[in-house]
């Protein structure tokens, strides 16, 4: 819970605060155990190397991988770029076709668009009105020249969880590599790269109460062994796949955040679901509020709604003193265009603009949720009254 004079924070899909237990684990590696993990000829380097090794083990075990399959990056954006561009460069002789989804994060869509300028063909699968892909459409989209399918685990705006195991099975049957952006999913839902037949997986720390600026890419080393071309050359760190001095404090924090997330997963997700249902019960008393995304196959802490008969900008301004949240992806917050995720669901532009993404987190309380719900209802009611529109009309 934040200080009373600050807004209630409900933007946990954008980022989360660093858990105090995570910060405590990180602190010694800034000033006491500050060695370079690549300097393996003295104590300082050994300390850092050991800490990085333990974090690598923790993260690998979280997704049922081996430590050698974890490549540390600066975050999920770099991991996505490394996976998509790295596969494209390594496998282009086998084909230049990649499949992804219209609702992916820009960190996937933009690298794909870049590859189009190099002669690659990209298929952008549509989604159904609930945000889930049609598995038969995926199956039909795979061609002999398809080298990669990239489908995110949990959507950053609407929280929808894709059927990873079924997608992985289709890809494995067709001999196509499967990449998943799991930035929003790690330590929130069970992930198993073996069971789900995932070949590459992008992760980050700051969505799960770890530090910003660190992430990882899982790269399968067996059945099949995946090859990717490095995008950063230099000192040869991370098996020559991602050069650069490892940021030991951040990596330690990443490992601790994942450890805590796994320990708390069951109870925390149950708690978040209770808060989400409470918030939805408060909002749903107003007419003209529509839920975005699948009602149940989604992250427990996600609630995304579109609100009829209000101006989106006025709504956000009206809520600002009380609650900190966003209308969509934080990475696209400066854009004046409606969310590409909501338009992919079939939402009209005006309705997509008048949408709110609530990201409920570990440190929110029921009292905060009640305050937010009542505030949102009050602001919407006031905005509609200001426009002198009847409250029981469901037309825009």
Catalytic residues, by residue number, are: 331
Give, for 147, the enclosing helix (H) or strand (E): strand 146-150
Give the tokens for residue 92: 């282009």
In this structure, the dihedral spanned by the alpha carbons of residues 291, 364, 329 and 72, taken in order and rounded to 10 degrees, is -130
Residue owning tokens 């809520």: 319
Residue owning tokens 């690998």: 60
Contact at 8 Å (CB) between 259 and 96? Answer: no
Cα–Cα dist 98/96, whole Å: 7
Closest to 116 in 3D by CA, of 82, 143, 88, 144: 88
Phi, psi of 139 (to 5 degrees): -60, -45
Sign of the four-CA dihedral 165, 166, 172, 176: negative
Report which DSSP code applies to 208: T
Phi, psi of 382 (to 5 degrees): -65, -40
In this structure, the dihedral spanned by the alpha carbons of residues 194, 198, 200 and 204, taken in order and rounded to 10 degrees, is -80
Contact at 8 Å (CB) between 128 and 292? Answer: no
Q: What is the CA radius of gyration of the chain?
A: 22
User: Which residues are registered as beta bridge partners of 9?
Assistant: 324
Give CB contacts under 8 A, 24+ apart, made by 164-171. Answer: 164/191, 164/196, 164/198, 165/195, 165/196, 165/197, 166/135, 167/133, 167/135, 167/138, 167/196, 168/196, 168/197, 168/198, 169/197, 170/135, 170/138, 170/139, 170/142, 171/142, 171/197, 171/199
How far is residue 297 CA from its own chain's centroid?
15
Give the tokens for residue 43: 């104590």
* Helices 106-116 + 76-91 axis angle, to 10: 30
Contact at 8 Å (CB) between 307 and 288? Answer: yes
Cα–Cα dist 383/37, whole Å: 56
Strands 215-219 and 97-101: unpaired
């Amino acid at each position: 819970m934040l200080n009373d004079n600050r807004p209630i924070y409900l933007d946990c899909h954008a980022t989360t605060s660093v858990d105090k237990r995570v910060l405590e684990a990180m602190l010694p590696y800034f000033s006491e155990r500050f060695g370079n993990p690549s300097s393996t000829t003295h104590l300082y380097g050994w300390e850092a190397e050991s800490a990085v090794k333990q974090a690598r083990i923790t993260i690998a075990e979280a997704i049922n991988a081996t430590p050698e399959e974890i490549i540390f990056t600066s975050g999920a954006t770099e991991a996505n770029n490394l996976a998509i561009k790295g596969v494209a460069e390594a496998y282009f002789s086998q084909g230049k076709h990649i499949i992804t989804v219209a609702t992916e994060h820009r960190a996937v869509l933009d690298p794909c668009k870049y590859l189009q300028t190099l002669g690659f063909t990209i298929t952008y699968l549509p989604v159904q009105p609930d945000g889930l892909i049609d598995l038969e459409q995926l199956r039909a989209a795979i061609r002999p020249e398809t080298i990669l399918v990239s489908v995110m685990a949990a959507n950053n705006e609407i929280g929808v969880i894709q059927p990873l195991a079924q997608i992985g099975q289709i890809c494995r049957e067709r001999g196509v590599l499967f990449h998943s952006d799991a930035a929003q999913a790690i330590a929130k839902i069970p992930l198993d790269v073996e069971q789900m037949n995932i070949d590459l997986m992008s992760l980050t720390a700051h969505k799960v109460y770890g530090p910003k600026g660190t992430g990882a890419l899982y790269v399968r080393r067996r059945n099949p062994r995946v090859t990717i071309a490095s995008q950063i050359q230099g000192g040869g760190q991370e098996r020559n796949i991602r050069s650069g001095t490892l940021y030991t404090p951040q990596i330690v924090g990443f490992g601790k955040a994942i450890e805590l997330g796994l320990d708390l997963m069951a109870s925390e997700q149950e708690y978040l679901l209770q808060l989400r249902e409470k918030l939805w019960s408060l909002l749903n008393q107003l007419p003209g509020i529509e839920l975005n995304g699948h009602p149940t196959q989604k992250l427990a802490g996600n609630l995304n709604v579109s609100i009829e008969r209000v101006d989106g900008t006025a709504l956000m301004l009206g809520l600002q003193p009380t609650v900190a949240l966003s209308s969509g992806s934080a990475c696209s917050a400066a854009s004046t265009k409606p969310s590409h995720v909501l338009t992919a669901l079939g939402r009209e532009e005006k309705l997509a603009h008048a949408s709110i993404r609530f990201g409920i987190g570990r440190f929110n309380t029921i009292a905060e949720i009640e305050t937010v719900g009542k505030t949102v209802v009050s602001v919407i009611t006031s905005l509609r009254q200001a426009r002198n529109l009847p409250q029981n009309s469901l037309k825009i």
